[in-house]
Structure 1
């Protein structure tokens, strides 16, 4: 759901930004307004960013290889991080440079005065449609979370990126409208420069927020607490496991979670019965948390004395064999 919803929001934002970028560029050519130039570059950068998100989503679907045995799911995080860099450099820093340049030589808007206002009003309408689409798709998976928590905790990067971009675009359009409007009213080009500077500060701020959140995903985040509780219950909810000695989880991609655990099992008569028990535990985990697609379970014999020493395990069992003669699914270290 998150992948499909993210794609729909990205496409809506891409179409809106292409149209907005063209109209803003025409308005800048006709009027020479720095706010219009900053906003047009902002829209061009946003269009490129949406293209990067679509490319990242497509590349993430590639099959795993011997060199990348866990697949390419986290490539979506890489492209989202690149988006933050593009927004910071192409959007924010360019706007700040243009504001500085305009402040050195402020000029009023003397020709085609109605064009920038008209373009900005139209752009606000188009950007509102894109933002509304992103909100609608986000609500399908946001649940009862606040918007701040959703942006900070979402594992699929596309929707938070589009939400922040569209929000920043709307605020930027309003700032540009104020700058252009006050320049037309007062004849003072410094208002245009001030509006451009405000747009630059806004874009730099949003880019930094995006970079921080995406960096956390790139470093590797574990499962949310409610998913951890489901996994723990699934592991211990049968006769095969006495307790969890220790467990770690890691998102390999937005829709793929790895679970690695050392579990205490009761002494059994054969490797076959042990393998059956491990397979049953894995099946329960996948039922409880469907995105837990990569599971490594290491069976051991629990020892209270060892637990006090910090290890919890008395000995390591040999790797069991499944009924088919293959290695049991999935022993790990």
Structure 2
């Protein structure tokens, strides 16, 4: 997904949340509703989150340099994590506290219809913002031939999945506020307004923890989409001079920045020029299907030596596709041939 599309999603959410926050706080001040105040805090925090993510996009877009040779893409995940903590600390904490105060000291809601009107308008605006984010996800799902839910679950761009999480939680909170305020007025039970605020806080906390978990996994070096590895193995499997693909490792250095490392066992008499040509063709093939793959490093190394190298660093060798290779290498002298071709796309 392009940075332009992600930025468009953020600006749509930012505009919606800023306007909604103002309306909610005005409604809360006019009617004295605790649930409406919590919703105002919710929208205010979401507005701040979008600002942080926009800053994160700018910070992560810095070009690679000597101190960060793979770029600054991982910083976007850090800012996504900060956003999650902001939702939890500011949104959930304040909403639950506000609700507890209202439960302990309930006060009747004045002119509840004002809150109802604001909530209905907010539902329309939040729904529109969510629709923009889901449109981007739908485009990605179509490209990858996956379902919407699976695409959201696997998405590596916090500027997209964070907005989906936030707007979904916002709609849930709005419906909870609408129901809670309505029941508080109809049943003449002001304390329900406070309990509704607590429910909104719980929704925020759950959203924050889910978002934090996603960003934590990504910022600590998550592998790329398994489809990339599967397709790469398929391409390499059709290359005659390659006897065995020892290992394929991938890692995200940002939403659209994937590093691919490959160890392959080439036929012993393969010329260096042939290896270089094969590597270039493989890189072009995998990048044509997966533009997010920016760097590909392919090492020519015997399967036997690759096993030894992994054991030396305390890792378990990956399961080989053909078990008879273990026997083939016992009585043969294979040495590592570190012929490597690397490419970088600006």
Same fold per superposition (TM over 0.5): yes
Distance across 2 between alignment mates of 1:181 and 1:301: 71
Aligned to 1:232: 233
Structure 2 unmatched runs, 5+: 308-324
The whole-number CA distance in structure 2 between the counterparts of 1:140 and 1:292 is 19
Cα shift at 1:80: 1.3
**Structure 1 residues 63, 117: closer, same or farther in 2, change over 3 A?**
same
Instruction: Using the TM superposition, give the Cα deviation of residue 147 of structure 1 relative to its aligned residue in structure 2, in angstroms.
Output: 4.0
1:188-237 Cα offsets, whole Å, 9 max, x none, are: 21011111111011111111111112221112222323221211122233
Q: CA shift at 1:58, angstroms?
A: 1.8
Give the equivalent residue in structure 1 for 2:38. Answer: 38
**More deviation, 238-247/280-289:** 280-289
TM-score normalised over the length of structure 1: 0.88
- Among 321, 337, 346, which residue is 1:317 paired with? 337
State yes or no: 1:120 paired with 2:119: yes
Aligned to 2:257: 256
Q: Normalization by structure 2: what TM-score?
A: 0.85
CA distance in 2, matches of 1:67, 1:193: 51
SS of corresponding position for 1:72: coil
Larger deviation, residues 304-313 vs 62-71:
304-313
Could you tell me which residue of structure 2 aligns to residue 26 of structure 1? 26
Change (3 A) 1:207 1:317: same
> C-alpha deviations, 1:124-160, integer Å up to 9, x for none?
1211211222222211112353444222211122222
CA-based RMSD: 2.6
- On the 8 A contact 1:49/1:86 being kept in 2, the answer is yes
Q: Helix, strand or coil for the counterpart of 2:73?
A: coil
How far the C-alpha of 1:310 sits from its partner, in A, is: 12
Matching of residues 41-120 of structure 1 within 5 Å = 41-110=41-110, 112-120=111-119
Pick which of 94-103 and 239-248 moved more: 239-248
Q: Give the paired residue count.
A: 322
Change (3 A) 1:13 1:218: same
CA drift at 1:16: 0.6
Distance 1:39 1:310 in 2: 67
**Pairwise CA distance, 1:309:** 8.3
Cα deviation, residue 272, structure 1: 4.1
- Give the structure 1 partner of residue 17 of structure 2: 17
CA distance in 2, matches of 1:34, 1:9: 30
175-184 vs 269-278, which deviates more? 269-278
305-314 or 117-126: bigger deviation = 305-314
CA distance in 1 between partners of 2:226 and 2:141 (Å): 16
Query: What secondary structure, in the 3-state scheme, does the structure 2 residue paired with 1:145 have?
Result: coil
